[in-house]
């Protein structure tokens, strides 16, 4: 019992001394921390500079064939021959399919015979008319008899014309048994096999598509349309391919297409369902890399360059109020500035409002600073691409 009381007294007596020691230690640490404040964080900055740029706008486009046609059988019959394999590249006039000819050859022979018969009958009726005309003038036949003979002659001549028309139709039907390429292009997949019955009411035999040149169709909003007319030198009422601004393409694999195209068509009205206006560009497609139906990115460039302030993409951040950058002021403190940005040019953005030439913005070390703190800026040798 004595030892327990002695222990408690000892503890209570030692407590004030321990507290005083702890407070003294804390006071010393606080003093050390204040005397050893960390240096300002180092950040990399880039200067806002003017540079020559070419205004451009990007749109989603789709490649379309200048010419494409469904090859339809214009007469009925058995498919007798398929002259080229599926996917073949053909020239204009190349034979593609043959439909059984026998019945159309027979129809043509009959039509020719009908023409010969009609002409013979017409010649006979012409002779009768000539005879009765002479007799009528001499008063040997009545006027009514002569008019009847004349009517028979005219009827015979009309039958000749009808027979000749039927012969022409028979010749056309026979020519339709040969299906040839109306323009150079590439064949698609054939729908029918040799021996199947085809005709005007069956599906197309195949599709033929012209490979070059090609169209690229894209749509622009009303505001983008006005910018294109104002900034890109486009005259919508007089599309002259030689004077239109260049258009370039980014392919689905991210590569830029080597050829440069021209605008050849602008629609004359706004689509009320989408609020856009249809544009059409044309490319020569010499290497046949652009296939109909492919989606591409269309870049519409202004005809001339202009000078503008640019800010590195890596300096741009965004919050609910909009785009902003962290600028290093003359006293090396950070301030937040909101920007009105224009188009993107490579890894930079055009600055319309918010920064002046020569201003320094942070491009690396953004995560280490906040507005109001002092920093140690280091000028970047070139604009960084990522923070």
CATH code, domain carrying 259: 2.40.30.170
Confidence of residue 230 (pLDDT cuts 50, 70, 90): low
CATH code, domain carrying 323: 2.40.420.20
Q: Which residue has the higher pLDDT, 246 or 199?
A: 199
CA distance 46 to 160: 92
Same domain, 199 and 77: yes
Residue 2 confidence (pLDDT) above 90: no
Same domain, 103 and 195: yes
Same domain, 81 and 197: yes
Residue 139 belongs to what domain range?
73-203
Q: Which of 21-35, 152-166, 186-200 has the lowest mean pLDDT?
A: 21-35
- In a domain, residue 154? The reply is yes
Domain boundary among 203, 228, 247: 203
CATH code, domain carrying 85: 2.40.50.100
pTM of full prediction above 0.85: no
- In a domain, residue 11? The reply is no
Q: Which residue has the higher pLDDT, 237 or 220?
A: 220
Confidence of residue 231 (pLDDT cuts 50, 70, 90): low
CA distance 296 to 163: 56
Taking residue 281's Cβ as centre, other Cβ atoms within 10 Å add up to 25
CA distance 314 to 325: 9
Same domain, 146 and 133: yes
Same domain, 81 and 199: yes
- In a domain, residue 1? The reply is no
- In a domain, residue 68? The reply is no
- Structural domain tally of the chain? 3
What pLDDT sits at residue 157? 95
Confidence of residue 5 (pLDDT cuts 50, 70, 90): very low
What pLDDT sits at residue 306? 77
Same domain, 234 and 164: no
CA nearest 187: which of 282, 87, 103?
87
CA distance 65 to 294: 11
- In a domain, residue 175? The reply is yes
- pLDDT tens string 310-366: 999 999 999 999 999 999 998 999 999 999 998 777 788 889 898 998 899 999 988
Same domain, 96 and 158: yes
Same domain, 292 and 338: no
Same domain, 223 and 140: no
- pLDDT tens string 81-113: 999 999 999 999 999 999 999 999 999 999 999
pLDDT, mean of residues 378-385: 64
Residue 161 confidence (pLDDT) above 50: yes
pLDDT, mean of residues 380-384: 58
Same domain, 86 and 198: yes
- pLDDT tens string 249-291: 999 999 999 999 988 888 888 999 999 999 999 999 999 999 9
- pLDDT tens string 112-127: 999 999 999 999 999 9
Same domain, 238 and 251: yes
Residue 201 confidence (pLDDT) above 90: yes
Domain boundary among 301, 335, 355: 301
Domain boundary among 182, 203, 224: 203
- In a domain, residue 369? The reply is yes
Same domain, 278 and 238: yes
CA nearest 42: which of 381, 385, 380, 384?
380
- In a domain, residue 358? The reply is yes
- In a domain, residue 244? The reply is yes
Residue 232 confidence (pLDDT) above 60: no
């Amino acid at each position: 019992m004595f030892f327990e009381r002695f222990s408690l007294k000892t503890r209570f007596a030692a407590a004030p001394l321990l507290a005083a020691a702890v407070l003294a230690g804390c006071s010393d640490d606080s003093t050390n921390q204040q005397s050893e404040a960390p240096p300002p964080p180092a950040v990399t900055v880039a200067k806002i500079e003017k540079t020559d740029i070419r205004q451009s706008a990007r749109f989603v486009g789709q490649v379309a064939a200048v010419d494409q046609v469904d090859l339809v059988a214009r007469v009925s019959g058995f498919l007798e021959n398929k002259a080229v394999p599926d996917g073949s590249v053909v020239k204009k006039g190349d034979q593609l399919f043959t439909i059984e000819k026998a019945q159309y050859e027979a129809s043509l022979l009959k039509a020719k015979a009908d023409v010969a018969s009609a002409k013979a009958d017409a010649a006979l009726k012409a002779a009768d008319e000539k005879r009765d005309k002479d007799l009528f003038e001499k008063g040997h036949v009545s006027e009514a008899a002569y008019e009847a003979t004349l009517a028979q002659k005219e009827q015979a001549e009309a039958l000749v014309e009808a027979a000749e028309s039927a012969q022409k139709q028979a010749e056309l039907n026979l020519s339709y048994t040969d299906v040839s390429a109306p323009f150079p292009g590439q064949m698609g997949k054939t729908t029918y096999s040799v021996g199947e019955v085809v005709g005007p009411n069956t599906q197309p035999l195949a599709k033929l598509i012209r490979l070059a040149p090609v169209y690229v169709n894209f749509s622009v909003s009303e505001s983008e349309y006005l910018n294109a007319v104002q900034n890109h030198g486009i005259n919508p009422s007089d599309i002259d391919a030689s004077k239109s601004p260049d258009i370039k393409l980014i392919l689905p694999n991210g590569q830029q297409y080597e050829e440069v195209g021209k605008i050849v068509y602008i629609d004359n009205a706004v689509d009320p369902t989408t609020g856009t206006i249809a544009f059409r560009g044309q490319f020569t497609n010499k290497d046949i890399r652009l296939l109909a139906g492919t989606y591409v990115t269309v870049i519409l460039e202004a005809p001339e360059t202009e000078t503008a302030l640019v800010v590195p993409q890596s300096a741009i951040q965004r919050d609910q109020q909009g785009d902003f950058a962290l600028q290093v002021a003359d006293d090396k403190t950070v301030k937040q500035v909101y920007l009105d940005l224009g188009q993107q040019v490579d890894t930079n953005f055009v600055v319309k409002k918010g920064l002046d030439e020569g201003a320094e913005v942070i491009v690396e070390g953004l995560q280490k600073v906040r507005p109001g703190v002092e920093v140690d800026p280091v000028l970047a040798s070139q604009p960084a691409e990522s923070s």
